[in-house]
A = this chain, B = another copy of it.
Amino acid sequence: MRLAYLGPAGTFSEEAALAQAARDGAVLIPLSSIPALVSAVETGLADRAILPIENSIEGTVSATVDLLIHETSLQICAELVLPVRHFLLARPGTTLGQIRAVKSHPQALGQCRRFLERCLPAAEQIASLSTAAAVAEMMQSGDDSCAAIGTLRAAELYGAEVLAWDIQDHRTNMTRFIVLAAHDAEPTGQDRTSLCFTVKRNVPGALVEVLNELAAANIQMTKVESRPMKSALGDYYFLVDIEGHRRDPHIAEALARMAEKAAELKIFGSYPRHEIGIEEARIPRR
């Protein structure tokens, strides 16, 4: 089993890939973009690919969702929810007082705004292409006045020291990853199904008419989101996650009725739910 992930090593995507590999013993293949991950599975370079799909702070990962809607018939066979943890990393022996600049991906800098304002108000913020690149650059620079925001794994890979733990503003920042493969998963009784649809006419009630089929069959929606179509402003795709497997009889019937009422309906796959409790999500201080 070969699992492709969004490299380089030391990012959250690698953390998710390592967690997934711990479940299924996969060998990891780092690739450099989200479209490359999909191509790798489609062409047999990899058996599966793990991609971020949404973050509780930043929202939907557009690149992933757009591939699912427009470009691939690969199916979701698993999901994985990981808490996002940020660490202030520096060259070994550095103290907080020495830090004049902090490097990271702008999203990570944004997610640690409160910590940076309080503890490093005078430090210059410098952007990097990834948190892992920030840690690598900081270590290679030989500059003890520079720190980086990154993962524990990046600290380990590049020999950085942890100056501060869990510096992210929100204690419940989670990222949800999906695993794509040629086929989705067998029913387990604790499943989720992801799909998208468009409505026939852009009129009041057209969306509710489709969603009513889920309500009538007592099926729980766990997500709904409208996304503008690329071709025409004002028209939307609706992304929906529901509890249950597409082969469960009541789900299969409801999906068939939804497909009749919708203009187009595409099922991204059914897979075991990965639920993470609020206690698990709330990270203790060290």
Q: Using CB atoms and an 8 Å cutoff, list the residues of chain A in contact with chain B.
A: 33, 56-60, 62-63, 105-106, 109-110, 113, 125-129, 170, 172, 174, 202-205, 207-209, 211-212, 214-228, 230-234, 236, 238, 275-278, 281
A237 to B222, alpha carbons, bound, how many Å? 12
Inter-chain contact A128/B127, CB cutoff 8 Å = yes
A222 to B227, alpha carbons, bound, how many Å? 10
Residues of chain B within 8 A (CB-CB) of A211 are 207-208, 211
Would you list the 9 A-B pairs with minimal beta carbon distance, nearest first? A205-B215, A127-B127, A208-B215, A204-B220, A127-B129, A56-B228, A204-B218, A225-B225, A208-B211
Inter-chain contact A56/B207, CB cutoff 8 Å = no
Min Cβ gap A92→B in Å is: 25
If over half of A's interface residues share one DSSP class (helix, strand or loop), that class is named, otherwise mixed; here it is mixed
Min Cβ gap A37→B in Å is: 14
A226 to B241, alpha carbons, bound, how many Å? 11
Min Cβ gap A208→B in Å is: 4
Inter-chain contact A223/B220, CB cutoff 8 Å = no
Min Cβ gap A167→B in Å is: 17
Inter-chain contact B56/A230, CB cutoff 8 Å = yes
Residues of chain B within 8 A (CB-CB) of A204 are 214-215, 217-221
Residues of chain B within 8 A (CB-CB) of A220 are 202-204
A233 to B227, alpha carbons, bound, how many Å? 22
A97 to B233, alpha carbons, bound, how many Å? 37
Inter-chain contact A172/B208, CB cutoff 8 Å = no
Residues of chain B within 8 A (CB-CB) of A238 are 224
Inter-chain contact B56/A233, CB cutoff 8 Å = yes
Residues of chain B within 8 A (CB-CB) of A227 are 59
Given known contacts A56-B228, A60-B59, A234 and B222 CB-to-CB distance under 8 angstroms: yes
Inter-chain contact A225/B224, CB cutoff 8 Å = yes
Given A57-B62, A63-B110, A106-B127, 18 further pairs, Cβ under 8 A: A33-B113, A59-B59, A60-B60, A105-B127, A127-B129, A172-B230, A204-B221, A205-B215, A205-B216, A207-B211, A208-B215, A211-B211, A222-B234, A224-B225, A224-B226, A232-B278, A233-B276, A233-B277
- Which of B57, B216, B225, B233 is the one whose CB lies under 8 Å from A278? B233
Given known contacts A59-B59, A233-B276, A278-B233, A214 and B208 CB-to-CB distance under 8 angstroms: yes
Inter-chain contact A226/B228, CB cutoff 8 Å = no
A266 to B20, alpha carbons, bound, how many Å? 40
A106 to B207, alpha carbons, bound, how many Å? 35
